[in-house]
Structure formats: structure tokens, C-alpha cells
């Protein structure tokens, strides 16, 4: 069975380490925050200028001056700091954020990512995504393996306009955990009950398959 | 009081000198920390053909979105737009030009403009459409594109408190682009929730020093919320 959104978040959360500063993109990546392992301290960075993002406020905590990068009301966690957008992107560009998780439309064997624009549809903008992929060393892309028409999103070459070139090395889809190196996808883990054949069939780019591909355990 | 006193008493005074075709750099992220009343004053003045540098363009009926109603904006330089229908309409019909700029690059373009730096190299956008036609240089084995800073004729910013000299403090994430925007315009107009006497704010906690601020006005703010995410208490 393909992984649910929460199962995807649980798997990505295993990449967290105690003391990590983490930026979670809008959409499915935000679910990772719900699965931080017990006893582990992780600080969430929100690129509008907040390090140490807390949960949504209760009604009596609502503060219009305190939002996240998705423009949602939030709170501050203990030990948080607040700063300007320039400072925020300085820490991103400077490679200080330990882990970045973001969604994508397409990823290819060269580590290119397309996540911000579909020609013909209204272009809303890249927000901070281009800065994040250019600045971070440790990025996990979280997306479905195929689009809603069944087309593979793991390609020999991205078709859509790029968000960043050669910057992606790890992809977690609803079917598999895949690494990118040497111009190829490498199958590392598979969703429980999903066959290697199915994954390979749904991967348009070249995929290297080791002898043993363990199932992701829950 | 004169000398370093930056206080003006009316919004007419605050935005005096803004003319058709000028470039205005605005603070704010979404509709958080936006100079609401200065934007409304620009609407009242009816100034046209404006280029606005701001991360977003407000929403329908609030923030920079109100300047679309009378087609006062010629061009937006932003990282994310399209939260408003009017924006979409004017973009699709060609009445409005948009230059999409990555958020960190936009912040740095403002910061650099205020710091007298005409351009800077960044890895952001290299290998993408944003990097097309821009100078590329390699440093330590990595490729970077040259991005130019964006000075403006006017800066319009919102802070929480300032003293009469314009030394200002922002509140929570309403800071966002405001400190950089404040430095990037030839004339910086700041509106705040409270103006205090010089000496009342601890110099150690000033975010924007008064040297950047030309005109200061106290206003009242609606602070509309774009996404009201609340959890059970």
C-alpha cells in the first residue's frame, strides 16, 4: 500500500536529530512537526523571520503580528527568536539550517527540482523555495511518486521550470525512499507491500535497485 | 522640537512628494506588518504608474490590494502574488507587470540598496529561469548569479514603537521586510502604533536606528488576519 500523508511524515521525521534547526515547506511537509520523536528537541524555522515556531494559538493567544511563512497564525516555542527577512535568509543561504523538507512537482536524476510553476496556469511565485534549495545542504523532497494522471514525477529531466539545479539528493514518495547520486535514482526503501517492480515501473528516470530493498517499518 | 524630530502629524504630510511613476518599497509579509494607513493615503492621492517592491500585493480590499482598484500599480516586484482576484485579472489582461523575485533575494536587494551595495552574487536561482541573462561567476567551485539591488524613491514601513527621532522597534513577525525596506528608499516614511520621547526606548533594543527614518507618524491599525488558524484551548 502506498504511504498515507502521515506515514510519509513519520518516515521523514526519522531524519531529524536532537538539536536540529528545521525548515518545513507548506503542505505535506508541515505534518513532519507532528511526528518529532519523544525527547528530541527540534526548532522549526519559518522564513518570514521566526526560529522556534510553536503550535497554532488558542483563541486567547491570537496575535495578528505572529504568523508563519504560510501566513497562518502561530505561537513561539520556548527559546524562540524573531528577526528580519534578510536575517532569515542569511541563515538559510549560509547553510545554517540542518534539514529542509519541501514538496515538488518533479525531481530528476540530476538532482534538479521543479516545484513552483506550471506554465499555462497562473504563476503565483516561488516565495522562499529557490533560496531554500540553493542554501540548504540537507534537503528531503516529499511528494507523491506519480501525479494524479499517473505520470511519474521522478524523471530523466525535469519538464517544468526549475526551482533549483543539482541540489536534491533525497526523495520520499508515497511508494519509496529514493536517493539521487551519479545521475541516477537509487531505491533505498519501499512502502510496505509495494513491489520493487511497481516502483521501477512508476519511475521514469533511471533507477538503480540493490538486491535487497527493505520495507519502511511502522 | 526640531533637529532630529521626525514626527509629522498628517498622512498628507507623510506621503508628500510621491509622484506618478515613482518606485515605492513597502515592508510587510502577506498582510502582517504592513503600513496600512500609508497605503490608504497613496490610494487617496491617486498616484499612478507606481512600481511597488513588496513581498506580496495584499489581498482584495486590504493592504496593497487597494491600489489595484484604481490601477495605480504599473509593476510589482514580489516573491509571491495572486492572493487577490483583482491582481490576477490585471496580470492576465496585461495591465499589470510582475517581476517575480525569490524571497531571500528580494530581502537582500533591499538590504543591499540601503547599504550602498549595487549588486551581489547569490546561488539562489542559478540554473533556473531567474538566472537567465544574469552574470554568472564561480567561487570555490560553486556557481552564483549577480543580482542588482533595488533602491526606491519612497520606503513605507510599519513598526510597533518609535521615539520621535525615529529609533524603532518591531513587534513579533510583523518585523519581516520592514527593517530592510526602511533603508532602501530615498525618503523613508514610518508609521507606528506608539510614538514615545527620545530616551524612553533602551538603545540596546532598537531594530531600526533613526538615521534611516525621514518621516514618522502614529496611526491606528486594523491588523487583519489572512489565515485564522486557531486550536482548541
Cell, residue A130: 529557490
Question: Angle, nearest 10°, between helix axes B103-114 and A85-93?
Answer: 120
Tell which A residues from 141 to 160 touch B, by Cβ distance under 8 Å: none
Residue B28 is given by DSSP the state -
Chain B neighbors of A102, CB-CB under 8 A: none
Per-residue pLDDT of chain B (233 residues; tens, 9 = 90+): 579 999 999 999 999 999 999 999 999 999 999 999 999 999 999 999 999 999 999 999 999 999 999 999 999 999 999 788 898 889 888 999 999 999 999 999 999 999 999 999 999 999 999 999 999 999 999 999 999 999 999 999 999 999 999 999 999 999 999 999 999 999 999 999 999 999 999 999 999 999 999 999 999 999 999 999 999 98
Q: Which of A51, A63, A65, A122 best tests the B interface by mutation, with the highest count of B CBs <10 A?
A: A65
CB B59 within 8 A of CB B65: yes
Per-residue pLDDT tens for A58-104? 999 999 999 999 999 999 999 999 999 999 999 999 999 999 999 99
Cβ-proximal residues to A82 (8 Å cutoff; 6+ apart), any chain: A49, A50, A51, A76, B172, B173, B175
Of the candidates A15, A38, A47, A206, the residue annotated as catalytic is A47
Q: Is B130 on the interface with A (CB under 8 A)?
A: yes
**pLDDT tens string B93-146:** 899 999 999 999 999 999 999 999 999 999 999 999 999 999 999 999 999 999
Rounded Cα–Cα distance for residues A96 and B9 (Å)? 44
Cβ contact A50:A82 at 8 Å: yes
- Using the beta-carbon criterion (under 8 Å), do B122 and A93 form an inter-chain contact? yes
Tell me the per-residue pLDDT of A137-191, one tens digit each, with 9 for 90 and over. 899 999 999 999 999 999 999 999 999 999 999 999 999 999 999 999 999 999 9
Residue of B nearest to A121 (CA): B92
CA atoms of A112 and A163, how far apart (whole Å): 8
Bridge partners, B187 (sequence order): B154
A130 and B CB contact within 8 Å: yes
Across the interface, whether the CB atoms of B130 and A130 are under 8 A apart is answered yes
Question: Is A82 in CB contact (< 8 Å) with chain B?
Answer: yes
Asked if the model's pLDDT at residue A7 lies above 70, the reply is yes
Q: Name residue B23's beta-bridge partners.
A: B51
Nearest chain B Cα distance for residue A108, angstroms: 14
- Yes or no, beta carbons of A59 and B173 under 8 Å apart: no
List the single best residue of B34, B85, B90, B128 to mutate versus A (max A Cβ within 10 A). Answer: B128
Q: Indicate if A38 belongs to the active site.
A: no
Distance CA B20, CA B46 (A): 9
Closest CA to B189 of B233, B153, B149: B153
Q: What is the pLDDT of residue A131?
A: 97
Q: What is the pLDDT of residue A26?
A: 87
> Considering only alpha carbons, which residue of chain A is nearest residue B88?
A122
- Cα A44 to Cα A12, A24, A101, B108, B112: the distances in Å are 15, 7, 11, 22, 27
The CA R_g of chain A, rounded to the nearest whole Å, is 17
Confidence label for A122 from pLDDT (cuts 50, 70 and 90): confident
Q: Which of A178, A185, A197, A189 is nearest to A217 (CA)?
A: A189
Place of cell 491599525: B221
Beta carbons of A68 and A48 less than 8 angstroms apart: yes
In chain A, what residues touch B124 (CB-CB under 8 Å)?
93, 130-131, 134-135
- Rg, chain B, Cα only: 18
- Are B230 and A58 in contact (CB < 8 Å)? yes
Q: CA–CA separation, B122 vs B16, rounded Å?
A: 36
- The predicted model scores a pTM of 0.96
A140 forms beta bridges with A101, A170
CA-based nearest distance B1→chain A, Å: 31
- Report helix, strand and coil shares of chain B as percent, to nearest 5: 25, 30, 45
Q: What is the ipTM of this complex?
A: 0.96
3-state SS class at A21: strand
C-alpha angle B117/B118/B122, rounded to 5°? 85
Which B residues 94-113 touch A at CB under 8 Å? 98, 100, 102-108, 110-111
Give the helix, strand, coil percentages of chain A, each rounded to 5.
Answer: 20, 30, 50
SS3 A12: helix
Helix (H, G, I), strand (E, B) or coil at A182: coil
User: Which pLDDT does position A125 carry in this prediction?
Assistant: 92
What pLDDT, on a 0 to 100 scale, did the predictor assign at position B1? Answer: 52
Residue B71 pLDDT: 96
Q: How many CA atoms lie within 13 A of B183 on its CB side?
A: 20
Q: Is A49 on the interface with B (CB under 8 A)?
A: yes
Amino acid at each position: 500500500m502506498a504511504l498515507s500523508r502521515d506515514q510519509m511524515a513519520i518516515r521523514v521525521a526519522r531524519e531529524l536529530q536532537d538539536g536540529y534547526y528545521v525548515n518545513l515547506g507548506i503542505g505535506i511537509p508541515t505534518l513532519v512537526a507532528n511526528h518529532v520523536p519523544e525527547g528530541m528537541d527540534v526548532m522549526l524555522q519559518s522564513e518570514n523571520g521566526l526560529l522556534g515556531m510553536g503550535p497554532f494559538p488558542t483563541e486567547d493567544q491570537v496575535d495578528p503580528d505572529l504568523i508563519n511563512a504560510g501566513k497562518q497564525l502561530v505561537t513561539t516555542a520556548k527559546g524562540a527568536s524573531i528577526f528580519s527577512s534578510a536575517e532569515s535568509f542569511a541563515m538559510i543561504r549560509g547553510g545554517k539550517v540542518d534539514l529542509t523538507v519541501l514538496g515538488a512537482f518533479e525531481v530528476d536524476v540530476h538532482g534538479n527540482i521543479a516545484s513552483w510553476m506550471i506554465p499555462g496556469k497562473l504563476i503565483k511565485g516561488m516565495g522562499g523555495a529557490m533560496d531554500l534549495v540553493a542554501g540548504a545542504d540537507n534537503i528531503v523532497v516529499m511528494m507523491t511518486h506519480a501525479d494524479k494522471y499517473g505520470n511519474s514525477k521522478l524523471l530523466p529531466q525535469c519538464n517544468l521550470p526549475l526551482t533549483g539545479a543539482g541540489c536534491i539528493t533525497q526523495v520520499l514518495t508515497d511508494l519509496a525512499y529514493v536517493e539521487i547520486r551519479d545521475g541516477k535514482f537509487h531505491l533505498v526503501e519501499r512502502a510496505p507491500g509495494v513491489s520493487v517492480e511497481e516502483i521501477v515501473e512508476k519511475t521514469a528516470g533511471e533507477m538503480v535497485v540493490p538486491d535487497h530493498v527493505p520495507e519502511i517499518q511502522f | 522640537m526640531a533637529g532630529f524630530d521626525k514626527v509629522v502629524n498628517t498622512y498628507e504630510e507623510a506621503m508628500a512628494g510621491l509622484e506618478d511613476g515613482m518606485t515605492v518599497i513597502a515592508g510587510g509579509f502577506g498582510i502582517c506588518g504592513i503600513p496600512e494607513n500609508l497605503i490608504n493615503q497613496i490610494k487617496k492621492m491617486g498616484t499612478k504608474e507606481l512600481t511597488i517592491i513588496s513581498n506580496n500585493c495584499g489581498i482584495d480590499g486590504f493592504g496593497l490590494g487597494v491600489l489595484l482598484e484604481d490601477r495605480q500599480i504599473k509593476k510589482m516586484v514580489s516573491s509571491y502574488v495572486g492572493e487577490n482576484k483583482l491582481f490576477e485579472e490585471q496580470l492576465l489582461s496585461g495591465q499589470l507587470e510582475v517581476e517575480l523575485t525569490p524571497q531571500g533575494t528580494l530581502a537582500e536587494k533591499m538590504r543591499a540598496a540601503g547599504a550602498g551595495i549595487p549588486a551581489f552574487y547569490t546561488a539562489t536561482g542559478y540554473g533556473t529561469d531567474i538566472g537567465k541573462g544574469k552574470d554568472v561567476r564561480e567561487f570555490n567551485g560553486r556557481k552564483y548569479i549577480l543580482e542588482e539591488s533595488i533602491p526606491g524613491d519612497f520606503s513605507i514601513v510599519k513598526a510597533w514603537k518609535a521615539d520621535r527621532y525615529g529609533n524603532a522597534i518591531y513587534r513579533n513577525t510583523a518585523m519581516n521586510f520592514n527593517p530592510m525596506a526602511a533603508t532602501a528608499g530615498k525618503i523613508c516614511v514610518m508609521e507606528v502604533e506608539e510614538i514615545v520621547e527620545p530616551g524612553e526606548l533602551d538603545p540596546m533594543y532598537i531594530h531600526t536606528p533613526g538615521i534611516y527614518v525621514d518621516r514618522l507618524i502614529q496611526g491606528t491599525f486594523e491588523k487583519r488576519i489572512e489565515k485564522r488558524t486557531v486550536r482548541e484551548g
